[in-house]
Structure 1
Amino acid sequence: MFGIVMSLSMVVSLIFSLVGVMMSFVSLNLLGVWVGMELSFLSVICFASGSSVEETESMMKYFIIQVIGSCVSGMGFILASNLSEVMACQLFILIGMMVKLGVFPFHFWVAPVVSKLSWAGCASVLLVQKLIPIWVLSNYLILYKDVSRVEFFCCMTSLVGCLGGLSVLNYRVLLGFSSVQNLGPMVLLCCCENFELWVYVVVYFMLTGFAMMGLWQLGIYGFQDLVKETGLKGMDNLWWVSLYFLSSAGLPPFVGCAMKIALLNGCWSKMTFGTGICVLSSCISLMFYLSVVLAVVVYWGKNVFMVSKEKRKEFNYMVNISLLVNLSGGFIAFLWMSL
């Protein structure tokens, strides 16, 4: 009975989180955006808390950080609604959104929070909770005059994300630093072009979401789980899941390369230095993306391409989704971006 109630409450919390996102997107005033953001945030707290002490502790850390960001951004929204203290409200909104996203120098909470969460909790924190702040910044930074400071924060965010992910064995923390590294180009695109921004966001969310889903299905949370994994079927599935990491690194012909194309198209002419730093940081982050693939090669490289003696005829959705998203999606993205 407790399990049924727990699962029902998690489903309701997830629904309310998505309702909060939609409320912020369609709201006609800043206070409505703030209410939708808080509804989504509190729903994610209920959804991702889980049943273990570690998950509850992580969500308490997340709650404290998000409350600080909400208070600061709420003060900025109130000042902006009253059309008073324009410089102060701009500063409050910018700092509040940076805290909620985890942009440098407020990136310190990302790794401790996601390190103990389930994959569903990681997806809600790293993906769902980014939508509203990015939406606010995409409408706010176009009107912001002093974008040179924003460019500096974007460069530092990408550098911190790519350097922090090196030598990380916990894949939830690795994807957390990957999220920080990708925040730099996202916020940079908020200053320039909305179309390229949402191309970047959609591709990033698709790749990270499917990678988390694949690792959740395989029950892998870190490098230690790879050592314990046995069985040809698990090896084969893990190989195809690891393609999402190569795609996130932006290697052609994977669909993740479309993110780098969108960044260059949107920002190169306006913020050349910041764009170059973000692209360079993605090249550095390729090292920790490759660590996942190399782990497969080292432990099971000789067995990944072995043909099983037993002919398996069942539909392997994990392999087919990986091929569809990474390779077929990449080909379609290249054709579309070239038009």
Structure 2
Amino acid sequence: MMNKSTNMLFMFMLIVSVPVSISSNSWFIVWMGMEINMMAFMPLIVEQKNMMSKESALTYFMVQTIASMLMIMSLIMLMLNENNINLYQNNSGEMMLMSALMMKSGVSPFHFWMPKMMEGMSWNKCMILMTWQKITPLMMMSNIIKINYIIVTTTILSIMVGAIGGLNQTSLRKLMAYSSISNNGWMMSAMLMSEITWTLYFMMYAIMTIIMTKSMEIYKNYHMNQIPMMNESTTMKMFLLMNMLSISGLPPMMGFMPKWMVIQYNMTINEFMLLGTMVIMTLITVYYYLRIMFSVMMLMNTQTKWNYKNMNMKKNKTMMLNTLSIMGMLTITIIISLY
């Protein structure tokens, strides 16, 4: 097991690498920051007591290395053809660069590594993967994205895979992975609108993901059949499951706010076909979260009294986290109206 000083070093490298990449004006420095980020995250994934974590670390290494090679190759192509990186003159180099960034962030059709990898990690590592690790590739994508058939197809495909892929899952970590893939599609649609919109979307998505992963980590829930065992309070289960609905984008919770912005923009530019597909596919996401909610709320699991010793501490943590998600839309609406 890694000692605390090594862990702190890797966490420091992980935190520093993202600002280095997103503040750079050179694609080579961006690539270098991504490589430092990958090499810092890999040792953090590996846990001595979890054999699957080693497989996850190897999967992450393979995928990120292939994406990095593809990225360097695309940059060389752009440099050779234009003598400088002019992304609007060379479609093949541009699309290769876009594909590399999609692979790094887990956008469909380059999503296959993400659910399998998350299954082998702890909730805290899953949280880092779904939030912090996505900042650099998504930020780079927002700089070079422009509306065309490939981007629209990728957006729809991500939302479809996220919706349909989660239907047959019993693992909560895989469910969160498919939810993350679906949100990637929405974020790509928000990128076409403006940088502020997708940044707001990402911030709200990150808050909801942190709340969800921390809540699950507190109760040590990894599969659907473990949720009914949270029998200390029906209110707690209700709060946790309401947060699931917030992530899926059900109004009037915080998760609906960023989706609402994207819906309004697509209506403004008359992209009704894209919008219709996105909304219908997201309804499937709402359905499978509701399916969990109904079964869990109806099942009660008896426990002995000595299992309740940490009840108040867990209850307070979860209450505080989930209230933010449930009351988020109301709070944000009040803030916007004040300004």
Helix, strand or coil at the partner of 1:105: coil
Give the corresponding residue for 1:188: 189
In the aligned structure 2, how far is the partner of 1:66 from the partner of 1:258? 32
Which residue of 1 is the match for residue 34 of structure 2? 37
Matched, 1:237 2:229: no
d(CA) in 1 for partners of 2:263, 2:170 = 31
Partner residue, 2:3: 6
- Report how far residue 236 of structure 1 moved: 4.1
Asked if residue 165 in structure 1 is aligned to residue 166 in structure 2, the reply is yes
2:118 maps to 114
Q: 1:69: which partner in 2?
A: 67
Q: Determine whether 1:54 maps to 2:52.
A: yes
Instruction: Please report how far the alpha carbon of residue 88 of structure 1 lies from its aligned counterpart in structure 2 after TM superposition.
Output: 3.1
Look up the match of 1:154: 155
8 Å CA contact 1:48, 1:124 repeated in 2: no
Q: CA separation of 1:243/1:154 partners in 2, compared to 1, >3 Å: closer, same or farther? A: same
Q: Which residue of 2 aligns with 1:127?
A: 131
Contact 1:99 1:106 in 2 (8 A): yes
Query: Contact 1:200 / 1:263 at 8 angstroms: preserved in 2?
Result: no
Q: Tell me, yes or no, if structure 1 residue 88 matches structure 2 residue 92.
A: yes
Q: For 1:253 and 1:101, how far apart are their aligned partners in 2?
A: 28
SS at match of 1:67: helix
Matched residue SS, 1:242:
helix
**Aligned partners of 1:236 and 1:13: how far apart in 2?**
38
**Comparing 103-112 with 235-244, which one deviates more in the overlay?**
235-244
CA distance in 2, matches of 1:115, 1:98: 21
Q: TM-score, normalised by structure 1?
A: 0.87
Q: 1:265 to 1:80 in 2, by over 3 A?
A: farther
TM-score by length of 2: 0.87
- Post-superposition offset of 1:29: 1.4
Retained in 2: the 8 A contact 1:253–1:330? yes
- The answer for the alignment partner of 1:258 in structure 2 is 257
CA 1:253–1:20: 2 relative to 1, 3 Å = same
1:71-92 residue CA offsets vs partner (Å, 9 max, x unmatched): 1112223444542783332022
Deviations 1:1-53 (A, max 9, x none): x5xx4343233222211211111121121111111112112211121222221
Distance 2:115 2:267 in 1: 30
* CA–CA distance in structure 2, aligned partners of residues 127 and 184 of structure 1: 15
Residue type matched to 1:263 in 2? V
**Count of aligned residue pairs for this structure pair:** 324
Q: Provide the rounded CA distance (Å) in 1 between the counterparts of 2:3 and 2:225.
A: 29
Q: Using the TM superposition, give the Cα deviation of residue 302 of structure 1 relative to its aligned residue in structure 2, in angstroms.
A: 12
Query: Structure 1: 5+ residue runs without aligned partners?
Result: none
Alignment-mate amino acid for residue 103 of structure 1: V
Of all paired residues, the percent bearing the same amino acid is 22
Partner amino acid, structure 1, of 2:208: L
Matched, 1:137 2:159: no
The secondary structure found in structure 2 opposite 1:232 is coil
Is 1:102 matched up with 2:106?
yes
Counterpart secondary structure, 1:316: helix
Structure 2, unmatched stretches of 5+, are: none
